[in-house]
Amino acid sequence: MKKEVNILTHTAEVVLTEEQRSAVEILKEKHRAQDLKEGLAQETLDEPISGDQPTQEIGEGTSGNNNTEGITEESGGALWDIFRREDVPKLEAYLRKHVKEFRHTYCSPVEQVVHPIHDQCFYLTSEHKRKLKQEYGIEPWTFEQKLGEAVFIPAGCPHQVRNLKSCTKVAVDFVSPENIHECLRLTQEFRLLPKNHRAREDKLEIKKMILYAVEQVIKDARNLLT
């Protein structure tokens, strides 16, 4: 519901041993078998379908799995997808339509969707992004974040991020004057969520910030007149 700046402060290559690679392949096979058993297999999907925490997710702040296939040492530390806020209705429609194709924690199916974005339980793979563009005509800005770079995420723009390497990041939320209207809209949207929903809490308290800002402006104006 706010702007965010995310700075990549450290990256490190993680070299997998043959034993670890074997374990990963075994796990992939188990996931494919589960998909086939549940009738959810994707014919062209060569990436594991996964979510981040519960996320999002696509949503505000989603992290994906750490698949390192095709990544070189020159590549960035994180892969970002950021959607325009104007495309949110179409993105939500896609997620609701294809909800059964996603996996969440412990590769469990997504059983319930309260809000496709705020639930933070979807991660769009390259195949899903292709289908999203084909079916709804929208696509995200996709780019790699390199060491030392800062990513600014506009308020109200759903996004997801997948670490390509072992990373340390610093993230700061803030409110900018030009996005006050969007922050207020999202605050109202959060209030419609169930009481126990993880996104319901208004961490920034935007209305209080506006009140304090107006109070400070009045004080400054009075000081100028005295």
Token output for 18: 């043959």
Q: Report whether pLDDT(205) > 90.
A: no
Average pLDDT over residues 150-175: 92
**Cα–Cα distance between 117 and 90 in angstroms, integer?**
11
| Mean pLDDT calculated for residue range 105-128 | 85
User: Tell me, what's the pLDDT at 71?
Assistant: 40
In this prediction, residue 23 carries a pLDDT of 92
Q: Find how far residue 129's CA is from the centre of its chain.
A: 14
What's at 53, amino acid-wise?
Answer: Q
Confidence of residue 113 (pLDDT cuts 50, 70, 90): confident
**Gap between the Cα atoms of 1 and 186, Å rounded:** 6
Residue among 151, 137, 156 at smallest CA distance from 79: 151
Provide, for the chain, the percentages of residues in helix, strand and coil under a 3-state DSSP scheme, each rounded to the nearest 5: 40, 20, 40
**pLDDT band at 168; cut points 50, 70, 90:** very high
Confidence of residue 152 (pLDDT cuts 50, 70, 90): very high
